Amino acid sequence: MAKLLVVDDDDSFRLFLEELLGRTGYEVLSAADGTHAIELATREIPDLIILDVMMPDMSGGMTAHHLSENITTKDIPIIFLTSIISEEQEMMVDNKDGSYQFLAKPIRAERLLEEVEKALQGDPE
């Protein structure tokens, strides 16, 4: 069973993700902010992180940067969730090394589950 870390400052959306992913059979950890996410990821070493871009204490981008600099968390795949870009625009995000996936909020449950499975399998597309 894969271990996922869900990071979002919106309590109801985070709970929705926890329930969706938990019902699908994943072990789900959660954090409401970047600081707690870094602590959890370092301690628990999840197989995948689902990370909100816009958070008050530390942005998702800054959280990912800290995780990428830590030897124990640098290779964990990250799926960013954002309401900043549309589904069409997410395809145009510059992601040079292909290590991050961006999905627009609101996210369809089927799409998220597809992307989670791809990321866990190491599928860049």
Domain 3-121: CATH superfamily, name plus number: Response regulator (3.40.50.2300)
Spans of the chain below 50 pLDDT: 86, 88-96
* Dist CA 115 CA 90 (whole Å): 13
In this predicted model, what pLDDT tens digit does every residue of 83-99 receive, in sequence order? 765 454 444 333 445 56
Hey, is 90 helix, strand or coil?
helix
pTM of the shown model: 0.85
Whole-number pLDDT of residue 96: 44
- The residue length of the chain stands at 125
pLDDT at residue 46 in the model: 98
Q: What whole-number distance in Å separates Cα of residue 41 and Cα of residue 38?
A: 5
The pLDDT mean for the chain works out to 85
List, for residues 36-55, the tens digit of each pLDDT value: 999 999 999 999 999 998 88
**Residue 39 one-letter amino acid:** E
Task: Please give the pLDDT value at position 94.
Answer: 39
Q: How far apart are CA 61 and CA 80, in angstroms?
A: 9
- pLDDT value for 103: 79
Between CA 34 and CA 39, with CA 37 as vertex, the angle to 5 degrees is: 115
